[in-house]
Amino acid sequence: MRAARLSDRLRVEEIDSPVPGPDEVLVEVHAVGVNQLERAVMNGARLGAPALLPRTVGIDPAGVIVAQGAAVAGDHVGERVAIKPNVPCGDCGFCADGAEADCRRQQVVGVHRDGGAAEYVAVPARVAIPIPGQVPFTVAAAAVHSVPIALHMIRRAGGIRPGDTVLVTGATGALGCAALQVAAGLGGKVLAGALEDEPVDGLPGLGAAAVLTYGRDDADGLAEQVRGHAPDGVAIAIDATGSGPLISAGVRSLAWAGHAVFAAALPGARLDLDPRELYTRRLTLHGSAAADYADVRDGLALVADGTVTPPVAAEFPLAEVVDAYAMAGRRDHVGKVVLHVR
């Protein structure tokens, strides 16, 4: 089969199709997202356990189950599925509690085991989540990583009450778009933040009540801009950039007892926070990563019922995987780059 492999560089190679293990399913891949996570691996940034190369990339494939291991209960051949990228261990206390996002022994498809930028991928059956309704494979692949993570961030921050104002910084990226759409879909009034040279024209159509822009090295004015729209501050500040100044500005933008949540940190990022503000104003800062199974099921349900429609910035054939990753690394588009495998 053809697979996009990362070794000294990224290229499409001909390799043997994987054989599913006893607890695994074999998925015929139709589409797979192009993610910053793998770019970080390619650039040598550490992400927990280091990735061993060569590796087939592709963390979030969607396709059809064509075979299953002997220990998989039921008959799943023919099911349309999207793959939860993080594979929880399944037997720690967090997993037992349904808090799989916090499992310390999770592995990532396409990082710690071969991924789905290939004609076939074998994954543990428990991370092959049925695609609800008529959601196309391309949309399912665009959604299955970012939408559940955005939903998990919002839930970790205590959820949204109708009318709550929510700040999303980094709103043009795949995670930012998902956070914007999920927060708006749950009844929040969303202030969408983006760099001043990013394409923001489409953000109101995704549900943004207002668009706030800032310079690359200038997050200082953001909190003041927020107060122009929300004089008491925002209930939740969601950062999708990993920028220390933007995360800090989000905390400074919070209303009384507000929650700030972030799911990435750029190398060298530092926070500039006044601890007096945190305790006197009852503020909470959450670090968030991955998602629970419930977030994946509920996130895909939000896509199936039309609450969230992940924007697909571009689709590339597998043969053009290098161009696809190059585009995903730029900030000149809104939403997700997807590889169309078949």
Q: Which is nearer to Zn ion, 48 or 133 (CB)?
A: 48
- Taking CA atoms, 27 is separated from 18, 83, 274, 289, in Å, by 10, 9, 49, 25
Check: CB of residue 211 under 8 Å from CB of residue 170.
no
Q: Minimum CB separation from Zn ion for residue 127, in Å?
A: 13
Torsion angle in degrees (nearest 10) through CA of 178, 184, 188, 192? 60
Q: Which is nearer to Zn ion, 117 or 129 (CB)?
A: 129
Q: Which is nearer to Zn ion, 92 or 269 (CB)?
A: 92
Q: Minimum CB separation from Zn ion for residue 94, in Å?
A: 5
Q: Minimum CB separation from Zn ion for residue 95, in Å?
A: 3
Q: Minimum CB separation from Zn ion for residue 103, in Å?
A: 3
Q: Which residues bind Zn ion (CB under 5 A)?
A: 88-89, 92, 95, 103
Closest to 7 (Cα-Cα) out of 40, 45, 48, 56 = 56
What percent of the chain is helix, strand and coil (3-state, nearest 5)? Answer: 30, 30, 40
Q: Give the C-alpha separation, 268 to 285, whole Å.
A: 19
Q: Give the C-alpha separation, 77 to 75, whole Å.
A: 6
Q: Which is nearer to Zn ion, 86 or 165 (CB)?
A: 86
Q: Minimum CB separation from Zn ion for residue 85, in Å?
A: 15
What letter would DSSP give residue 303? H
Q: Which is nearer to Zn ion, 87 or 337 (CB)?
A: 87
